[in-house]
Amino acid sequence: MISLHLIEQVIASSIYLTTPILLAGIGGLVNRQAGIVNIALEAKMLVGAFVAIVVSSATGGWFLAVISAGVAAAGVGYLFSLTITRANANMIVAGLGLNILVAGGLGFILSWNFGTSGTLRLPEIHLLPKILDDSVAAIPFVGTMLSGLDPLTLFAWATVAALPFLLANTRIGLHLRAAGNAPHVARGVGLREKLLQDMGTTFAGFYSGLAGAHLSLSSIGLFNEGITAGRGFIALAAFYFARNRPIGTAMVCLLFGFLDASQIRLQTAGLPPKLISTIPYLMVLIALCIAGWRKRERNELQ
């Protein structure tokens, strides 16, 4: 018997687990629209999660912690972008390299500066606040979700709502997409396509940093080397699956968040979590196959 309470719980944890994937996915899709496939979302999330914890503990303010996480990850993203746009580095290799470098660098700082390995606990962490009053919890179905809503979740969904307009109807959105789709043409009409691509990667860095901040500051209040647990790649899978469309990406992220949330319950139903964890990746593979197969059929018809 499925109780109301269970449904409420699943809705709440689905939304909560979607947020980091969604934030990173938003960054990644804008980045890809600007022509760069960002494999290093994972690294920037890790930077964000770490900075958020350190700043939150040092200053005692969640807002400053979140902004610092975003800015630090954006800085990493900008440097990463320079290696691709200015020094012609292959974006895939540079991205994989950055993932290794950042994991190594943070591990080094953790054991050298903080004397721990793997997990960092700091005193006086200020977690993300809840936006709404506790009284909303009485609303059926969405009550638990609403009472647990944090500012980053709201910000992520607000961005999703605004992004289609920003990308299709504003000057900067059109310029970014031009730099991604036809860099030579963009340059021909006087746009600085490399600068635009750098902006895209910096944007992706900022949003991944926020995603990391959500991971470390939303409930547990600590940093762990494995805190991202491949979520940067799940975000990659999401915007690949939705072919870079903001609303579609958000829906796929929501699906992945739901899978994550129901993992424990599916486990008791006999479905092993390790197999469930491969679903996002298999979905992308299947989607790419279908797209390729359709394209071939179209070509054969012509």
* Residue 263 near another protein by CB under 8 A: no
Spatial distance between the Cα atoms of 224 and 231, rounded to a whole number of angstroms: 14
Of 35, 240, 249, 259, the residue at the interface with another protein (CB under 8 A) is 240
CB of 168 to another protein, least distance (A): 25
Q: How many helices (H) and strands (E) does the chain have?
A: 13, 2
Would you say 63 or 108 has its CB closer to another protein?
Answer: 108
Angle between helices 231-241 and 246-268 (to 10 degrees): 130
Would you say 157 or 233 has its CB closer to another protein?
Answer: 233
Give the sign of the dihedral formed by CA 28, CA 53, CA 125, CA 260: positive
Spatial distance between the Cα atoms of 95 and 42, rounded to a whole number of angstroms: 9
CB of 189 to another protein, least distance (A): 26
Could you identify the residue written with the tokens 């071939």? Answer: 296
Of 6, 60, 63, 108, the residue at the interface with another protein (CB under 8 A) is 108
* Residue 264 near another protein by CB under 8 A: no
Residues 6+ apart with CB under 8 A from 56: 62, 64, 65, 122, 125, 126, 127, 217, 221
Of 75, 97, 151, 248, the residue at the interface with another protein (CB under 8 A) is 97
* Residue 195 near another protein by CB under 8 A: no
Would you say 90 or 135 has its CB closer to another protein?
Answer: 90
Would you say 68 or 99 has its CB closer to another protein?
Answer: 99
CB of 232 to another protein, least distance (A): 11
By CB under 8 A, which span of 55-63, 65-73, 197-205, 273-281 interacts with another protein? 273-281
Q: Pseudo-torsion of CA 92, 96, 99, 101, nearest 10°?
A: -110
* Residue 119 near another protein by CB under 8 A: no
CB of 56 to another protein, least distance (A): 23
* Residue 220 near another protein by CB under 8 A: no
CB of 97 to another protein, least distance (A): 3
Residue 296: what residue type? R
By CB under 8 A, which span of 14-22, 100-108, 167-175, 192-200 interacts with another protein? 100-108
| Residues 108, 244 contacting (CB under 8 angstroms) | no
Number of residues engaging another protein in binding (CB under 8 A):
48
Residues 6+ apart with CB under 8 A from 139: 146
CB of 29 to another protein, least distance (A): 14
Stretch 45-84 residues interacting with another protein (CB under 8 A) = 83
**C-alpha 145: how far from its chain's center?**
20
Angle between helices 246-268 and 151-169 (to 10 degrees): 150
Of 3, 112, 169, 301, the residue at the interface with another protein (CB under 8 A) is 112
Give the sign of the dihedral formed by CA 161, CA 287, CA 257, CA 97: negative
Taking the CA of residue 156 as centre, how many other CA atoms within 13 Å lie in the half-sphere pointing to its CB? 32
| Residues 277, 17 contacting (CB under 8 angstroms) | no
User: Which residues sit at the interface with another protein, rule CB under 8 A?
Assistant: 37, 39, 83, 87-90, 92-94, 96-108, 110-112, 117, 230, 233, 236-237, 240, 272, 274-275, 277-278, 281-282, 284-285, 288-289, 291-293, 295-296
